[in-house]
Amino acid sequence: MARGGFAGAQARIASAEAQVAVLNAQHVEAEGQQQELKIAVDQARRDLARTVLTAPSDGIIANLTIEIGDLVSPGARLAALIPDGSLYVEANLKETQMTNIAAGAIVEMTFDALPNQTFEGRVASISPATGAIFSLLPADNATGNFTKIVQRVPVRIALPQEALETGKLRAGLSTEVSIDIRTPTPTDVVETE
């Protein structure tokens, strides 16, 4: 009987050792699955982070063209962003009006949206080219046919803070501008010590 008990004990030991080997293999497999799950969690976090769109500046979203659940591709136009506090007036002046206009010139302007109010701004910059140069289909007069057309030059005018603070100005509104060409430009001002 002792031999039978001994043989049974050895069989139980062998079974336990086999069970240990199985458990070790399951442990190694579980560690591999844990690594795969960590990778899947990291991928899900990256995918979730890509679902959030961050604007380059503060502003108001306009012309939203997507809805929840839409799939978009890179480069697709989703909306327009109108930046807060960075509105400006762009006056497209005839090239014949550009003779004495320079950056820094004082501009009086009235807005149709703010009747009976006049604001004073300044010429912030003058485009280096006419609007026709930047058009989608610029004119090509290579055929020899030439008709002189007065070109327009974009002039950017900075809005005064009091005009922005009204809260009534929006991108695309109409305005009338009057530029004081007598305004001293930086080259006209001589510094004295």
**Stated pTM of the model:** 0.57
Q: pLDDT band for position 117 (50/70/90)?
A: very high
Total number of domains constituting the chain: 3
Closest CA to 178 of 91, 69, 94: 91
Tell me, yes or no, whether 21 and 90 share the same domain. no
Q: What is the mean pLDDT of residues 27-48?
A: 90
From CA 102, how far away is CA 124, in angstroms rounded?
9
pLDDT at 120 over 50: yes
192 is a domain residue = no
Residue 190 tokens read as 């001589």
pLDDT at 190 (0 to 100):
40
144 is a domain residue = no
From CA 41, how far away is CA 109, in angstroms rounded?
57
Give per-residue pLDDT as tens, 44-89. 999 888 878 788 888 888 888 888 888 888 888 888 888 776 788 9
Give per-residue pLDDT as tens, 130-170. 877 777 666 666 666 667 778 889 999 999 888 888 888 88
Backbone torsions φ then ψ of 130, nearest 5 degrees: -75, 165
CATH of the domain at 106: 2.40.30.170
94 is a domain residue = yes
From CA 85, how far away is CA 169, in angstroms rounded?
10
Ramachandran quadrant class, 35 (left: phi over 0; alpha: psi -120 to 50; beta: rest):
alpha
From CA 84, how far away is CA 61, in angstroms rounded?
10
Tell me, yes or no, whether 19 and 102 share the same domain. no
Tell me, yes or no, whether 67 and 94 share the same domain. no
Tell me, yes or no, whether 78 and 98 share the same domain. no
Look up the domain containing 31 and give its range. Answer: 1-52
